[in-house]
Amino acid sequence: MAKRWSFHPNDVILRENDAGESAYIIESGKVEITKDMNGKRVHIAFLGQGATFGEMSMVDDLPRSASVTAVEPTEVTEFHRDDLFAAMKENPEVFSKFLKSIFERLREANSLIAARDADPVAGGRLANLKDPNANGEAYTIEGITPKAIAAITSNPHPIRNFPFRIGRKSNDPFLYNHFEIEDQDPPKISRHHVSIILENGRVGIIDRGSELGASVDGVRIGGKHGNGPVFFEGKEGILILGNEASAYQFKIRVAWK
């Protein structure tokens, strides 16, 4: 039976290298994913409400690959392996959350491996950016054309988690996006289009296998241009989803809260 747990800030939920046969859905709050590298605690990602973690160890029986720590009051639902098997029949919506997460993380890992093998375009450094919520900084995506503005429920739209996944709105049960865009035929936006990443204080874009690619401050990614990542310069940058003529144009910005 699935269990619900509550955690205080700085509580360790999972510890790297521990054994584990459970996976988790975040019901509220936020967690940080970290790895120990040469004795240093290295930030990997922040995850918020609706995100999952811990599923890889449950599937492959290997030790936990990272630690997970609550960064604010957080509630999670824990699913043991047997619970998840039962959910395949009894609660397919829950099962699909974990399945989508596994697929998307494999997709992102493949993109990063391919990018590093191909000596990716590094672009410039997004000045003075640190992790979300640090030093009062906030990250947003803002529509700058009528079509882009119409695609956003709140403009600007906050970016609370990295990677921040963008794609076309669809009934596809295997989609895993934080920001979905309703696009008409012929679509400019792919179901899995790009991810916004935060890496070593830099904000950049990775293509997730989109059909028409994207432009990051004029630098093309996707298709023959490779998946990136390409990093922004300055405190803001322009992201165009689709070809250069696409009206889906957005500004990625860091500002003070």
Q: Domain 134-256 class?
A: mainly beta
pLDDT value of position 103: 59
pLDDT per position as a tens digit, 131-184: 444 555 688 999 999 999 988 888 888 888 788 889 988 776 656 788 888 887
Question: Under CATH, which number does the domain 3-90 receive?
Answer: 2.60.120.10
Q: How far is residue 130 from each of residues 70, 97, 136, 162, 257, measured CA to CA in Å? A: 18, 29, 10, 12, 14
Q: What's the pLDDT at 128?
A: 33
Q: What does each C-alpha distance from 199 to 44, 52, 126, 132, 225 come to in angstroms?
A: 8, 21, 10, 12, 21
Question: What confidence score (pLDDT) does residue 105 get?
Answer: 63
CA distances (Å), origin 132, targets 101, 154, 157, 224 = 21, 19, 14, 32
What is residue 125's predicted lDDT score, i.e. its pLDDT? Answer: 32
Q: Give this prediction's pTM.
A: 0.59
CA 191 to chain centre: 14
Q: What are the Cα distances from residue 41, in Å, to 44, 54, 68, 252?
A: 10, 18, 12, 28
Per-domain boundaries in the chain: 3-90, 134-256
pLDDT at site 177:
82
In the predicted model, residues of the chain with pLDDT beneath 50 are 119-133, 257
Instruction: Please tell me the distance from the alpha carbon of residue 48 to that of residue 30, in angstroms, as a whole number.
Output: 4
